[in-house]
Structures are given as structure tokens and as C-alpha cells.
Amino acid sequence: MSPHLGSGEPAKPQTLAAAALREQGAAALRALLDTVRALTGDDSYERYLARHRALHPEVPALSPADFYASEIERRYSGVSRCC
């Protein structure tokens, strides 16, 4: 066990700086992963739930399977050509 943990002594400035750096790194990694999830559409169900709760709280939300089935149907039904 570290001599500074639970010994009643204040943590050294280097220890506090290292902890702050780890927290900043973890926050940056979380932000990066959230951005990647948004860009790839991986967070679409969570965004759907948030919007659905805000606009239609009285209507039950789709299950994840039903949501993804409706998204596939929406995306690939109809004309899918550029011109």
C-alpha cells in the first residue's frame, strides 16, 4: 500500500498532477469515443430514445430490435440512386 493512502498525510503535488492528467486523458478518450459513435451512427438508438421521451412521453418507445428494423427499412426502401 502506498504510504500516502490512508496515512493521513496530504498527497504530494506530483501525485495530484498525475491524477489530474489521468482524469483529463480519460475525459478526452470518452469524448473521442462519443464522437466516433455519433459519426458511425452507433448511438442512434440512444438519440432516438432521448428525442422520443422529449416529444412523445406518453407513447412507448420501440425496442432496440424494432428500432433497427425500422431504420433498415427507412434507409433501403425506395429509390437509392444518385440521379
Contacts of 8-14 with C-beta under 8 Å, sequence gap 24+, read none
In a domain, 1, yes or no: no
Tell me how far the alpha carbon of residue 42 is from its chain's centroid: 9
Average pLDDT for residues 19-34, to the nearest whole number?
92
CA angle at residue 37 from 67 to 18, to 5 degrees?
140
Contact (CB, 8 A) for 4 and 15: yes
Decide: residue 46, CB within 10 A, 0-12 exposed, 13-18 middle, 19+ buried. Answer: exposed
Mean of the per-residue pLDDT values of the chain: 85
pLDDT at 19 over 60: yes
Number of folded domains that form the chain: 1
**C-alpha cell of 78?**
425506395
In a domain, 59, yes or no: yes
In a domain, 4, yes or no: no
In a domain, 36, yes or no: yes
- What is the reported pTM? 0.60
Give first-to-last CA distance, the chain, whole Å.
68
pLDDT at 46 over 70: yes
Residue 14 confidence (pLDDT): 77
In a domain, 7, yes or no: no
pLDDT at 39 over 50: yes
- Phi, psi (5° rounding) for residue 60? -65, 140
In which domain, by residue range, is 70 found?
Answer: 13-76
